[in-house]
Structure 1
């Protein structure tokens, strides 16, 4: 126990060891890695943890991967279910989540896998065969921003066909809740990076060098997004407005900018995007050219797909020299998969320091929180095997199947998904039915027959929406709760268990009213036609609350009548003997009787007299009490 405590404290310390400088929660996981390590850029990586299944492997050409966390992999074979997850406990808040994916023919199959990735029940990444050569051979980073509402970050992987999803590293960094215009996008939006570039810099940030970006961002060089690399401006002077909340864009971003030397020539960047999505486009500027000394010397327009989104931008006039200026534009209703950004000169040459293109995904509808809790309790209690893929959200994402054997539907108010049907028969399940099973208030049918489920029923199981219940051929014990006979129940199979006790009238009534009930091969059941009569104790214990109340009231009334009658009788006798106002000579006769009686007792050699008592003993019967003088 002491060793576990030390391990827990050490693990907690490791989770916090790589917090960002301003105190945010930060965890880095080397997926497939066996050991913790710190790298040359002061990052502390944790050995693989928090996963639901899978196996480990290594890339086939390690020299293609300069960072240690990129060389080990976790993959999820289909034999362990179509859905596997990382589930990481974190404080409630907004997070930057970055993942590294690589294939590199680790399995010698020369077939890069197809799979989907979800965060908090929303599909965010789609990997399809064949991967690009760069991604296949060298891997690729993907990142997003998501709000974690329940204190558990859930990242899941979905097999397509028989392919095994694969991941190399996983990083979570808590960021400011207000970052990236969260007030307008809301907490249910997930922001996915489609391209974050630094204009003029080489790639920098976490994983590249020791430059601190408090937002956890890695910035790519811009040469893959433009066909004509422009001239470069650099500055060593401080830039005002960098590293400020809520976005904390790093000062290094503004120290280098692209500009166009030729007159009337625009700077153009191109992105490939998904036309079905909306996008935030963030532009990062700073006038760092000391030759610009007044307003009107550098003026340009910013266009997106030939639409002017910012006209007549004069950085010197707007914010002055060596000052960051960041502008966001939301692009909606794309008609194609191409996004073209142009900086068109009006006076002088245009200039740009960096661009971020971020897709805005509305979070997929999730399972009702209470019902999700019930399903995870059921998974644990029945020891559901990994092959069934009971991981993550039971119903979400909606574009994928729910958990194996589970059917979900939209709740009546449209706010969540609810579990309506469950067929987990003959799955080798063992354990007991948890009390949380009663939380599944929308469940219409449940078939868990032919397993090894034992123990009693939850107290109120059967109430709610259940119409059909099949728990036959298990090892269930104890009585059948009256709730099993709810008015909705039409089909009830409890045969071949170890149930005992009286069958509730409500359960028997299912068959009487045209439903189907099978209680066969439960040796201890009794009290209805075709079953033995119940022993006295079962008859008593099996009474309904109303019947018990009537019986108790009847007993109390009878006892009251008996006690009252006895009291009246005793009082009358005492009145006759002690308060008999007879004539004086009759009183003399009573005195003579008393004296004779006393003399008789004194003559008794044993000194014992037998007095008949009408007082009940503790068993409820009268007895003769021997009284010694």
Structure 2
């Protein structure tokens, strides 16, 4: 979390990102208890990934980058920012750092002095790949007398942080010409740093004016929020410790991310549906928080998979992407009450885990695809209030047990008990249940209709006679009439009621086909 400390403050972070043609998607997310996220400006600059060797699953947040040999009085000197860095870094002198409320505090025992050389002095190892640490960084150093100490104390907002510390050195004292004159050790929070004992800059660099740096990967304790770096002069050395610059980064885990393939696919889904920009469908679909209306689940691979999309009445105006079937773990898809055009993709039948498909109240055209009745998990199929045409597929009429289906308010859908025969509408008729094929060319379709009508009337007459006889001779007690005990030919009221009672809140009550 980033909380600005002063007006005009900026923060720098480093992210290892695959290249060379990879896209970088930057998303600012506000803490739920805070105001909206905001940023005044965003600058993206390249840096050699080998400049700071670290785990690519971490982001480096810079807390301190300072020239310790500049602005010695730490607040009383001239404020200055140094930008002539091929690595695209900004360096501050200590006065500037203080003005920006830097978390750095510097103290010396007994007292520090500042050494410097001309600004145009060249340093071996500076301004070269992969680090590109600038020569100007090494033209001044903070030093102490023999046996003295320099303490660099940095406060980190979050306890238990993992830190990357970079210390910069160069021997610029003209009186130090041989190894053994300046020797010191480095410790962090009272513990020695690996390789930090007996540091001799002349011995290390084999000469003066050599750019040197040491990195320390340090894990703070669970209750620690302060890192205290101590440079202590060695006994017997004629010179005390010296340091030219300090960088402190906090390593923040990037955490689980959406599966790479699903991440790319969700962006295509977003573009196909023409999701409004204000809907916050930006960045990673699942991390750090999920897009509105998107369900996610953490997998055993420690990445997120998409389990649902619910964008009812979201002002969508595009179409349903056929490739959405590649979201193999999708369990619900609710895009009702929008202005989605196009057809119902045939590929949706490949979503084996889909339990609910609601595309109602849109502008969908075309026929209802075959295969929905064979989907193993499907329990709701709602396509009412569209402009669909043609017959109901045979695998949906009668509907599979326990499946709620609604095709109401699609005037040109045919082929069910509550719809006209597809032949009457002039449609092709998908369902072979409602289409009667003539068995002989000598019998016309009109004759077939009369034969069927006569059979029905005969059956009704027989039933009426039987009922009349029972009423006359047996006088049964009539049951109280149930006003809504019928079915509309699509699904049973009991099956529908049971399913809706056990569905999550995102399942809206469906309008019945026949009212």
1:498 aligns with 2:387: yes
Task: Pick the aligned partner of 1:187 from 47, 50, 56.
Answer: 56
Q: Secondary structure at the match of 2:419?
A: coil
Task: Pick the aligned partner of 2:365 from 471, 477, 486.
Answer: 477
2-structure distance, mates of 1:406, 1:450: 17
Q: Secondary structure at the match of 1:331?
A: strand
- Residues 484 and 512 of structure 1: CA distance in aligned 2, closer, same or farther (over 3 Å): closer
Task: Pick the aligned partner of 2:301 from 401, 405, 414.
Answer: 414
Query: C-alpha displacement at 1:208, in angstroms?
Result: 6.1
Name the structure 1 match of 2:140. Answer: 256
Query: C-alpha displacement at 1:532, in angstroms?
Result: 2.5
What runs of 5+ residues in structure 2 fail to find an aligned partner?
A: 73-78, 99-104, 433-515
Contact preservation (8 Å) 1:457, 1:480: yes
Q: Secondary structure at the match of 2:14?
A: strand
Name the structure 1 match of 2:198. Answer: 312
Name the structure 2 match of 1:243. Answer: 127
Contact preservation (8 Å) 1:298, 1:314: yes
Instruction: Give the alignment of 1:357-372 within 5 angstroms.
Output: 357-372=248-263
Name the structure 1 match of 2:347. Answer: 460
- Residues 275 and 380 of structure 1: CA distance in aligned 2, closer, same or farther (over 3 Å): same
Per-residue CA deviation, residues 439-475 of structure 1 (Å, 9 max, x unaligned), is 3221101222222222201231132221111122222
Per-residue CA deviation, residues 297-334 of structure 1 (Å, 9 max, x unaligned), is 11111111111110011111121211122111110142
Query: C-alpha displacement at 1:537, in angstroms?
Result: 11
Q: Secondary structure at the match of 2:86?
A: coil
Per-residue CA deviation, residues 10-46 of structure 1 (Å, 9 max, x unaligned), is xxxxxxxxxxxxxxxxxxxxxxxxxxxxxxxxxxxxx
1:403 aligns with 2:403: no
* Structure of larger gyration radius: 1
Task: Pick the aligned partner of 2:45 from 165, 170, 173.
Answer: 173
Name the structure 2 match of 1:266. Answer: 149
Q: Secondary structure at the match of 1:317?
A: helix
Query: C-alpha displacement at 1:166, in angstroms?
Result: 2.8
> What TM-score results when the alignment is normalised by the length of structure 1?
0.60
Contact preservation (8 Å) 1:526, 1:534: yes
- Residues 188 and 435 of structure 1: CA distance in aligned 2, closer, same or farther (over 3 Å): same
Contact preservation (8 Å) 1:202, 1:221: yes
Task: Pick the aligned partner of 1:226 from 106, 117, 128.
Answer: 106
2-structure distance, mates of 1:420, 1:288: 62
What runs of 5+ residues in structure 1 fail to find an aligned partner?
A: 1-124, 545-629
Which structure is higher in helix share? 1
Q: Secondary structure at the match of 2:106?
A: coil
2-structure distance, mates of 1:527, 1:543: 6
1:376 aligns with 2:267: yes
Per-residue CA deviation, residues 569-627 of structure 1 (Å, 9 max, x unaligned), is xxxxxxxxxxxxxxxxxxxxxxxxxxxxxxxxxxxxxxxxxxxxxxxxxxxxxxxxxxx
Query: C-alpha displacement at 1:194, in angstroms?
Result: 1.6
Query: C-alpha displacement at 1:383, in angstroms?
Result: 2.7
1:519 aligns with 2:407: yes
Contact preservation (8 Å) 1:461, 1:481: no
Contact preservation (8 Å) 1:460, 1:483: no
Instruction: Give the alignment of 1:287-298 within 5 angstroms.
Output: 287-298=171-182
1:533 aligns with 2:421: yes
Contact preservation (8 Å) 2:390, 2:428: no
Name the structure 2 match of 1:582. Answer: none
Q: What is the CA RMSD across the aligned residues, in angstroms?
A: 2.6
Q: Secondary structure at the match of 2:26?
A: strand
1:155 aligns with 2:16: no
Contact preservation (8 Å) 2:126, 2:135: yes
- Residues 248 and 534 of structure 1: CA distance in aligned 2, closer, same or farther (over 3 Å): same
1:323 aligns with 2:210: yes
Query: C-alpha displacement at 1:374, in angstroms?
Result: 3.0
Q: Secondary structure at the match of 1:157?
A: coil
1-structure distance, mates of 2:426, 2:50: 64
Contact preservation (8 Å) 1:478, 1:500: yes
Query: C-alpha displacement at 1:543, in angstroms?
Result: 7.5
Q: Secondary structure at the match of 1:466?
A: coil
Per-residue CA deviation, residues 148-189 of structure 1 (Å, 9 max, x unaligned), is 3372222222234572433222211112122211xxx33222
- Residues 467 and 154 of structure 1: CA distance in aligned 2, closer, same or farther (over 3 Å): same
- Residues 532 and 407 of structure 1: CA distance in aligned 2, closer, same or farther (over 3 Å): same
Which structure is higher in strand share? 1
- Residues 517 and 418 of structure 1: CA distance in aligned 2, closer, same or farther (over 3 Å): same
Contact preservation (8 Å) 1:395, 1:408: yes
- Residues 394 and 428 of structure 1: CA distance in aligned 2, closer, same or farther (over 3 Å): same
Query: C-alpha displacement at 1:226, in angstroms?
Result: 1.1
Query: C-alpha displacement at 1:521, in angstroms?
Result: 1.8
Name the structure 2 match of 1:440. Answer: 327
> What TM-score results when the alignment is normalised by the length of structure 2?
0.73
- Residues 408 and 152 of structure 1: CA distance in aligned 2, closer, same or farther (over 3 Å): same
- Residues 513 and 539 of structure 1: CA distance in aligned 2, closer, same or farther (over 3 Å): farther
2-structure distance, mates of 1:214, 1:541: 71
Task: Pick the aligned partner of 1:341 from 229, 247, 253.
Answer: 229
